[in-house]
Amino acid sequence: MGVTHVIDRRLNGKNKSAVNRQRFLRRYREHIKKAVADAVNKRSITDIDRGESISIPSKDIGEPNFRHGKGGRRAQTHPGNKEFVTGDTIPRPPGGGGGGGSGQGQASDQGEGMDDFVFQISQEEFLDFMFEDLALPNLVQKQLKETSNFKYVRAGYTTHGTPAKINVIRSMRGAYARRLALSGNARKKISDLKEQLEAIKRSPMPPDPVFSKEDQIQALEDEIKRLKGRIQRIPFIDEIDIRYNQHIKQPKPATAAVMFCLMDVSGSMSQTHKDIAKRFFILLYLFLKRNYQKIDVVFIRHHTSAKEVDEEEFFYSRETGGTIVSSALKLMREIMEQRYPTEDWNIYAAQASDGDNWNDDSPRCSKLLAESILPFVQYYSYIEITPHEHQMLWHEYEKLMESYKERFSMQQIMDEADIYPVFRKLFQKQAEHLA
Amino acid sequence: MSEIVDNDLIDRQPEPEAPKPVERKPISTESEWTFDLIRQYDEAIAICAKEYKLETYPNQIEVISAEQMMDAYSSVGMPVGYHHWSFGKQFLQTEKLYKRGQMGLAYEIVINSDPCIAYLMEENTMMMQALVIAHACYGHNSFFKGNYLFQTWTDASAIIDYLIFAKNYLAECERRHGIEAVEQILDSCHAIMNHGVDRYKRPSPISAAEEAKRQREREEYLQKQVNDLWRTIPLKAGDKEIKNKQRFPAEPQENLLYFIEKNAPLLEPWQREVVRIVRKVAQYFYPQRQTQVMNEGWATFWHYTLMNRLYEKGLVTDGFMLEFFQSHTSVVYQPPFDSPWYSGMNPYALGFSMFQDIKRICEHPTEEDKKWFPDIAGSDWLETLHFAMRNFKDESFILQFLSPKVIRDFKFFTILDDDTENEYQVTAIHDENGYRAVREQLARQYNLSYRDPNIQVWDVDIRGDRSLTLRHTPIDRVPLYDKEVGEVLKHIHRLWGFDIHLVSVDGDKATKSYHCPEKPEPEEEEMED
């Protein structure tokens, strides 16, 4: 019999199944994508950042093999008889005997039953699936999924590190202290001995003739020499003295941001339009969340007049009537002034509309933007969700593009994949910043 | 007499706690384990195991975390698994159940390999680790080494190497042919994995020698392109010599995977190799499917016996034993048929009771035992137990050794469910007239030929459309599970490349047939070209 080997495997990778899990997700990606899309529609913008439970009908997920079905003649032995005697009959349970299951175990021994196969995908996987439709570049995806940005800050000293980080002063100070501490006893003894030596030298009479004065002095001096030698042997600097500068990761100091979501809710905006708009807002929200610690979201909806509402009302209530975009901009301006002073807040805004506007109003909009909004915001993005010809508002906004290239972007959108270009500059800027 | 298993335990507990006090020098007193303690317990258990003549492969104990245990679960006990989505599905399911607390993880997983690898969970207490070492490293291990099925069907020293080969080979295939292509073949092979084993023939064990042979097989493949099987000389229409048409294969073949690997007309060499890999894996697990009761019973018997032996020697504390009994009792609990927890026989319970019972029959036979087991009543229990372990599988083990006492203890009864009757019928119970019937019926339940439908390759239309005909021979009229047959046939179709027919027969009369692709109604006989 050989010797038993005991091995600690705990430090080995634990994600041995990761590949198989990915295979699984790949195979059922259509199911998952649909579930994710549903979840995006259902969830609040600010709640987009977590995993989701996915449910796949068991008929789609089975692994078929040849098995026995119901029927025929079969006998089965069971434990725990209480009152049966040979020859007893038991009425067949309704449904052909499948329900009771006593004789039918084999038909479902896979334990799958009729339930759906339910499992969790992680926050990261959730975002992956969501981003897929949005056609986000990889770098941007990565940025959005990173939980936090860190920077290294000095944090005192540590006992291990790289030679490049040795702190000389600290190390020497430690060495000195150690030398003092280790030699303390010896030095105290030396000074005692020295006193004795002095005393003996001074005393005229040898107290003990056998142990002569010279001998005594000699003995004391030898002892003093020995102790001094011992002090000498204490290393000048030892490994334990060495201190290294320590740097730790710290979340980047972040400030607050406010995100204005502006949306046209006039009769011409359908629920599909709004769903696309929602993804647009989500993307901006995710971006902000990576960069700021505190984020306020303000929802402003408008038709002929604008109103600040909560998210529920923003996305799901319907209004009819005409459209005056400037009303929303005005309201945004007011809210900015009252609640979000630019010294304290980074202001981002995203506006979604189908492009309809009261023609006279469009020049007013671009003026408002140019004068009282764009100078104060970090970024303003506009999407027009329409397959039709552009109208006045688009052309007015196009003029703004010239003078506010850095902080203004606009895009016509047919489906989700068109959303990303709106943010391109924003994400690029961040990529540069990180690099 | 209400709880069979509990009674068993109560009967036996006093044994180790016999009055003569032993001087206790426990190996440990805390519930925390350390690597050093694991080694000490292992040594102590190894000494006890030797007293009982347990022969084992060398042990390799690996301590793993719960997450790693879930990984191990999902590769269905293969220490090195190839990649496949179904393992990912398994993992997700395990993870979900575990995280919701609906399922505890096994305390150990043991691999039939040389050295014998046992995974222990880090969450286990010291007692649990010791139990698991006794159970897996000495119980299962000696079973793997001694049982004839394992000796015949598996080669413990080669399995790890083979699995590594398989994993690398499949990874290479994925690289060359794409994940999708490999996945499809694997899906199809998995669908008939249970029909990928020779039930009656002794296979050649996986071995290094075979790896060398493989090269030759590839050449054989090329040869096959021109071999007689597919050298078809077009026959003139109407010139069918049905008279002397020879069936191919001449004898029905039960190993579908093997047949496909060797004969499928369109598979590429790498695809054949994939079929072969799945077949080999199926073969590796085949003995385990046939020895659940014995294997678990044997391992449970030995953890029980070895733990008690440690106690007798004073190496463990009373507290240790109490904790042990609690675990052991729940392991061997058999819920009665009407319990909400009932999900068939608990192999641990049945196997443990049977081995304990054999020991009892050897040591203290009753008149009944002497009548039923004249050969073993009063014989040396250890030798008899080893004999039973070596030479049987579940079916024959139960048929040979299930005693009236165990039947009474479990209160077994047999129910007949005949779909031509309106009621179930109780055909036998745990009484004098029923013992034999119950025993035969229970043994039959563990016969794989009854568990898996009997499906064999019947015919290939070599000179015609190359279609493959399978034959299902129902036992006791039990039909196939209709809903999945079509799907499985699609998989076989993918492997074979031509039409697949499956016929259920009763004697020589076809009772039901399935086709892939599904047959158009027999009306249109018109065939162009």
Interface touch A86/B422, C-beta < 8 Å:
no
Q: Name which of B410, B411, B479 is nearest A72 (Cβ-Cβ).
A: B479
Count CB atoms within 10 A of the CB of residue B274.
27
Q: What are the tens digits of pLDDT across the range A332-383?
A: 999 999 988 887 788 888 898 888 888 788 888 888 888 888 888 888 888 8
* Range of lowest pLDDT (A83-92, B3-12, B147-156, B223-232): B3-12
Q: Name which of A5, A65, A102 is nearest B337 (Cβ-Cβ).
A: A102
Interface touch A24/B85, C-beta < 8 Å:
yes
What six digits make up the tokens of A14? 């634990």
CB-based contact (8 Å) between A98 and chain B? no
Interface touch A24/B438, C-beta < 8 Å:
no
CB-based contact (8 Å) between A25 and chain B? yes
Count CB atoms within 10 A of the CB of residue B477.
15
Q: What dotted CATH number matches A256-434?
A: 3.40.50.410
d(CA A95, CA A294): 59
d(CA B294, CA B135): 13
The pLDDT, as a whole number, for residue A422 is: 73
Residues of A in contact with B42 (CB under 8 A): 4, 6
Q: What are the tens digits of pLDDT across the range A24-40?
A: 988 888 888 888 888 88
Nearest Cα to B144, choosing from B121, B110, B119, B106? B110
The pLDDT, as a whole number, for residue A206 is: 61
| Mean local confidence (pLDDT), A87-101 | 64
Interface touch A14/B438, C-beta < 8 Å:
no
What six digits make up the tokens of A121? 């995908």
The pLDDT, as a whole number, for residue A209 is: 66
Interface touch B85/A87, C-beta < 8 Å:
no
| Minimum distance, in Å, between the CA of residue A343 and any CA atom of chain B | 47
Q: 3-state DSSP call for residue B459?
A: strand
| Mean local confidence (pLDDT), B297-314 | 96
How far is C-alpha B113 from the geometric centre of its chain's CA atoms? 15
Q: What are the tens digits of pLDDT across the range B213-259?
A: 664 565 565 455 435 566 555 545 444 444 456 788 888 888 999 99
Q: What are the tens digits of pLDDT across the range B440-477?
A: 999 999 988 888 899 999 999 888 889 999 999 998 88
The pLDDT, as a whole number, for residue B232 is: 53
What is the band of A148 on the pLDDT scale with cuts at 50, 70, 90?
low
The pLDDT, as a whole number, for residue B314 is: 93
User: At A408, which amino acid appears?
Assistant: F
| Beta strand spans in B42-161 (E) | 59-64, 108-111, 116-121
Of residues B300 and A111, more confidently modeled: B300
Residue located via tokens 């009757």: B421
What six digits make up the tokens of B6? 């509990």
Q: Which secondary structure element, helix H or strand E, spans residue A401, and what is its range?
A: helix A392-403
Interface touch B59/A4, C-beta < 8 Å:
yes
What is the band of B523 on the pLDDT scale with cuts at 50, 70, 90?
very low
Residues of B in contact with A121 (CB under 8 A): none
Average pLDDT over chain A, rounded to an integer: 80
The pLDDT, as a whole number, for residue A252 is: 58
Average pLDDT over chain B, rounded to an integer: 85
CB-based contact (8 Å) between A135 and chain B? no
CB-based contact (8 Å) between A51 and chain B? no
Interface touch A75/B419, C-beta < 8 Å:
no
Interface touch B88/A67, C-beta < 8 Å:
no
Provide the percentage of residues in chain A whose pLDDT is more than 70.
Answer: 84
Q: What are the tens digits of pLDDT across the range B366-408?
A: 999 999 999 999 999 999 999 999 999 999 999 999 999 999 9
What six digits make up the tokens of A384? 């027009």
Q: What are the tens digits of pLDDT across the range B27-82?
A: 998 888 999 999 999 999 999 999 999 999 999 999 988 888 888 877 766 778 89
CB-based contact (8 Å) between A108 and chain B? no
Q: What are the tens digits of pLDDT across the range B170-201?
A: 999 999 999 999 999 999 999 999 998 877 66
Q: Parse chain B into domains and list their residue ranges.
A: 4-147+291-331, 347-450, 451-516
Q: Please list, in sequence order, all residues whose beta carbon lies within 8 angstroms of the beta carbon of residue B146, skipping any fewer than 6 positions away.
A: B55, B386, B389, B390
| Minimum distance, in Å, between the CA of residue B206 and any CA atom of chain A | 23
Interface touch A75/B122, C-beta < 8 Å:
no
- The answer to whether residue A435 scores a pLDDT higher than 50 is no
Q: From the candidates A30, A77, A122, which should be mutated to test the interface with B, based on the most B CB atoms within 10 A? A: A77
Q: From the candidates B190, B478, B492, which should be mutated to test the interface with A, based on the most A CB atoms within 10 A? A: B478
Name the DSSP letter for residue B317: -
**A-B Cβ pairs (cutoff 8 Å, strict):** 285
Q: Name which of B83, B179, B427 is nearest A75 (Cβ-Cβ).
A: B427
Find the radius of gyration of the CA atoms of chain A. Answer: 39
The alpha carbon torsion through A116, A119, A123, A125 (nearest 10 deg) reads: -80
Residues of B in contact with A77 (CB under 8 A): 412-415, 438, 441-442, 445
Q: Name which of A1, A3, A66 is nearest B453 (Cβ-Cβ).
A: A66
Interface touch B191/A2, C-beta < 8 Å:
no
Helix-helix angle B66-74:B85-99, to 10 degrees: 140
Of residues A298 and A129, more confidently modeled: A298
What six digits make up the tokens of B162? 């083979």
Interface touch B35/A8, C-beta < 8 Å:
yes
The pLDDT, as a whole number, for residue B522 is: 52
| Minimum distance, in Å, between the CA of residue A52 and any CA atom of chain B | 13
Residues of B in contact with A63 (CB under 8 A): 86, 187, 190-191
The pLDDT, as a whole number, for residue A14 is: 62
What six digits make up the tokens of B286? 């085949």
| Mean local confidence (pLDDT), B317-327 | 93
Q: From the candidates A17, A21, A60, A121, which should be mutated to test the interface with B, based on the most B CB atoms within 10 A? A: A17
Interface touch B194/A1, C-beta < 8 Å:
no
CB-based contact (8 Å) between A113 and chain B? no
B62: nearest CA partner in chain A:
A7
Interface touch A77/B337, C-beta < 8 Å:
no
Count CB atoms within 10 A of the CB of residue A85.
11
Residues A386, A392, A395, A397, CA torsion sign: negative
- The answer to whether residue A101 scores a pLDDT higher than 50 is no
What is the band of A136 on the pLDDT scale with cuts at 50, 70, 90?
low
Interface touch A71/B414, C-beta < 8 Å:
no
Name the DSSP letter for residue B341: T
User: At A133, which amino acid appears?
Assistant: D
Q: What are the tens digits of pLDDT across the range A227-252?
A: 889 888 888 888 888 899 988 877 65
Residues of A in contact with B438 (CB under 8 A): 77
Interface touch A89/B71, C-beta < 8 Å:
no
Residues in chain A: 435
